[in-house]
Amino acid sequence: MKPSVLIVDDDEEIRTQMKWALGEDYELSSAEDRAGALAAFMSNRPTVTLLDLGLPPNPNAPDEGLAALSGIQQLDSSAKVIIISGQGQKSNALEAVGAGAYDFLLKPVDVDELKLVLKRCVYLAELEREYREMQQAERPNVFEDMLGTSAQMQGVFSFIRKVATASAPVLLLGESGTGKEMAALAIHRRSQRKDGPFIPINCNAIPENLLESELFGHEKGSFTGAHMQRKGLVENANGGTLFLDEIGELPASVQVKLLRFLQEQRFQRVGGRQEIVSDARVVAATNADLSTLVSEGKFREDLYFRLAVVVIKLPPLRERGEDAALLAKEFLNSFSAQSDRPNLSFVPGALRALAAHQWPGNVRELQNRVKRAVIMADGKRITPADLELSDAGIGGRSMTLKEARESVEKEVVENALKRHFGRISSAAAELGISRPTLYETMERLGIPKREVKET
């Protein structure tokens, strides 16, 4: 497949010239303003974006172009953007490069120079993509950027592999911070729609009076401020996946329209009469109890059953055994590299504190605590204080009898496996239980099976 390039310029003549010059070697798309650029980027995920700084409504200033650059980087931190600048905007172009753009070219653009810079940029983007894929292949505990060796997460990974190839809607359930958007992205990447757009939207982050227009688009003049026709996210997600986070917050009026789309794959823009077809797969997520919302009349029962064709539950971090320590070490490696503080490590007390904490904010909380610790640590070792935890866990929380029993049981099983070098039969014989019982015990206690042997 040809590399893809998004051309963002308000001058139709320039867009046409670039298409003529680059069309033979690249798959091209275009936009003429910031909103169109972000929508096109979400839909096409181009290899490189050619971005003019002077965009409407104020093409004589760089504000809209710089805002578009920032928006693209928020969508994809590794995005490659080449700035196109007028003669009077060289300082602004240099500012954009300092903010993360790959390079800049002055107008009028020399076609040969453009092709050369673009070729180098595409090459770098491909190298970075191959490196990310190689890193993932070398980390067997990683599944589509999701990390976990616990039985609970391995079950989630298995479920995603099975449902990804289907086209049915998926409902992701889990507490805040458990990784529902990452699971939705994993479903998309494993599906036949992986080359199509993945478009996320938080239904709770957009005002109710704008949400219908955001999802389904609107026609010019359909309401105050609708100065032009605008496609919605359902339409932009055609051929890909639409991820609806916090689906429980969807207003009743929008629930009706979404239900019809799920039934017929058709919808109308706000203020429009034309039937529009979109082949978008819907993956929804919530941390609310939808069945309770249904019984209270706050969520349509028919929509619930349409969304819940396949349900995947994301476990809270406190139920994932040793995954907290595994994730903490991964975050530590990443943040210490970004902060140019190599060789940071956790003291034993910090690991005990991580294991004892209940993680009400789940993986997101863990990530934030480790990031803070990298900033606050005085030496090469991360302490419980750096994590804002105590060695005994927050508030010195005591164990329940059930937790104490499981802790001792887990230690006994792990020690038996270590003494017999992971041999299941030998460890089971020492423990006085059968091999199937040992497997069930390991799964219940969250003991990973990656190093065990059958004999």
Is the residue at 365 inside a domain?
Answer: yes
Q: What is the pLDDT at residue 234?
A: 93
Q: 220 φ, ψ to 5°? A: -60, 130
Q: Are residues 332 and 240 in the same domain?
A: no
**Average pLDDT, rounded, for the chain:** 86
CATH number at residue 406: 1.10.10
- DSSP class of residue 247? G
Q: Are residues 21 and 117 in the same domain?
A: yes
For 368-435, where are the E strands, in sequence order? 381-382
Q: Which band of pLDDT confidence, cut at 50, 70 and 90, is reported for residue 138? A: low
Give which of 449, 177, 183 is closest to 311, Cα–Cα.
183
To which residue do tokens 């270590």 refer? Answer: 418
Q: Are residues 102 and 173 in the same domain?
A: no
Distance CA 170, CA 281 (A): 9
Angle, helices 323-338 vs 348-356, to 10°: value is 120
Say whether pLDDT at 242 is over 90. yes
At residue 285, the 3 state secondary structure works out as strand
Q: Are residues 367 and 419 in the same domain?
A: no
Amino acid found at 99: A
Q: What is the mean pLDDT of residues 90-112?
A: 82
> Looking at per-residue confidence, does 122 or 97 come out higher?
122
Q: What is the pLDDT of residues 301-344, one digit of tens each?
A: 999 999 999 999 999 999 998 899 999 998 998 888 888 888 88
Q: What is the pLDDT of residues 396-454, one digit of tens each?
A: 445 566 666 777 778 788 888 888 778 888 888 888 788 878 888 888 887 876 555 55
Q: What is the pLDDT at residue 377?
A: 87
Q: What is the pLDDT at residue 453?
A: 57
CATH number at residue 96: 3.40.50.2300
Say whether pLDDT at 27 is over 60. yes
Q: Are residues 103 and 211 in the same domain?
A: no
Burial of 66: CB neighbours in 10 Å, binned 0-12, 13-18, 19+: buried
Distance CA 234, CA 189 (A): 18
If one counts the domains in the chain, the total is 4
Amino acid found at 258: L
- Give the C-alpha distances (Å, rounded to integers) separating 148 from 91, 152, 315: 46, 9, 11
Q: Are residues 216 and 128 in the same domain?
A: no
Q: What is the mean pLDDT of residues 65-82?
A: 86
Domain limits at 436? Answer: 401-445
Q: Are residues 203 and 281 in the same domain?
A: yes
Q: Lowest-pLDDT range, 136-145, 264-273, 295-304, 358-367?
A: 136-145
At residue 118, the 3 state secondary structure works out as helix
